[in-house]
Structure 1
Amino acid sequence: MRWGWAIAVLIAAGIYAANHYDVGAGRLLAVAAPKADMLTATFPFCGDGRRVTCVVDGDTFWLSRVKIRIADIDAPELSPPRCEAERIKGEAAKSRLRELLNAGPFSLTAGWRDEDRYGRKLRTVTRDGRSIGEILVAERLARRWDGARHPWCN
């Protein structure tokens, strides 16, 4: 009888994993997708003043005084960039993120970790079920986040 329960648990775990794991990318998918894109705001670039709703760089923005780091990507650094190539690509990523956020309603989904070590909320940003981070990756303005920083300078 105990074998029956063990087999049932293994089957259930396999079904769960098959539905929540992206084999090609080697990562867990979001467990529950938002029902609709409901967040919208006008995003300027952040300046030196108080930050309420604005874009910091290609993977970080503020929304209603909450600092958000896009969880599924890593974009080139702007403060400070390590080389001119990183600065140029970082500015392009920042501009594109602003354009994507301003294009219409979007959703934020929390993953397994709520915040990073800098206190930024870690969120996947989607519109119509498509990751805005993946758009930046496809356009070569960001990389998929694998837990480590990789250089943008050659």
Structure 2
Amino acid sequence: MPIVLAALAVGAVLGVELPAGWLPAIIKDLPTLPDLGTGQAVVVSGSALVVVDGDTLRYKGERLRLLDIDTPETSKPRCTAEASAGAAATAALRSLIAGQQVTIRYSGKTDRYSRPLVRVVTPDGDVGAALLRQGFALSYKPGAEAYAARAAHWCG
């Protein structure tokens, strides 16, 4: 199968057109992610999700960003306090979805890194709202001024 995919990719780059309806059966049977349009939802076990940080998850290899919240940075923290708070937010997100049935609701929007913006809901409620209530996240607002305010919040 990798050879078939590579050949198709090379052909696409070179502008080679395939006859209408031609597609190997193996390609047709590949699993696909759900349509990422507005209102689409998928229900999965919490164990199907990988927690990247306090506001980012990975599902089937795709990074998903929690909608409307921002947690402290873990990959490039601006101070040691933010690094510690980021680790705590990551642990909190892991705890909120562990052993739960999780609904991922796609908003139809993406962030500046092209990650789908999603709401994640468990039987206990919206995970982003729980992170806000527990003090692990702030409401996300765009712009340089809001970014500076978040940095000041986490780093003092």
Over residues 12-31 of structure 1, what are the superposed CA-to-partner deviations in whole Å (9 max), with x where a residue is unaligned? Answer: xxxxxxxxxxxxxxxxxxx9
- The answer on whether the counterparts of 1:136 and 1:142 sit within 8 Å (CA) in structure 2 is yes
For the aligned residue pairs, the C-alpha RMSD in angstroms reads 2.3
* Cα distance in 1 between the residues matched to 2:112 and 2:80: 27
Letter in 2 for 1:76: P
Do residues 128 (structure 1) and 123 (structure 2) align? yes
Task: State the percentage of identical aligned residues.
Answer: 32
Do residues 105 (structure 1) and 101 (structure 2) align? yes
Do residues 117 (structure 1) and 112 (structure 2) align? yes
- The answer on whether the counterparts of 1:134 and 1:144 sit within 8 Å (CA) in structure 2 is no
Partner of 2:47: 42
Matched residue count: 112
Partner of 1:78: 74
SS in 1 for 2:43: coil
Partner of 1:17: none
Q: What displacement does 1:33 show? A: 9.3
Do residues 153 (structure 1) and 135 (structure 2) align? no
Which residue, 112, 117, 140 being the options, matches 2:135?
A: 140
- The answer on whether the counterparts of 2:104 and 2:118 sit within 8 Å (CA) in structure 1 is yes
- The answer on whether the counterparts of 2:46 and 2:102 sit within 8 Å (CA) in structure 1 is no
If the length of structure 1 is used for normalisation, what is the TM-score? 0.65
Q: What displacement does 1:126 show? A: 1.0
Over residues 97-146 of structure 1, what are the superposed CA-to-partner deviations in whole Å (9 max), with x where a residue is unaligned? Answer: 111122311111222x4211202110011123721011111110101112
5+ unaligned residues in a row in structure 1: which ranges?
A: 1-30, 44-52
- The answer on whether the counterparts of 1:108 and 1:123 sit within 8 Å (CA) in structure 2 is yes
* Cα distance in 2 between the residues matched to 1:84 and 1:60: 20
Point out the structure with the larger helix share: 2
5+ unaligned residues in a row in structure 2: which ranges?
A: 1-37
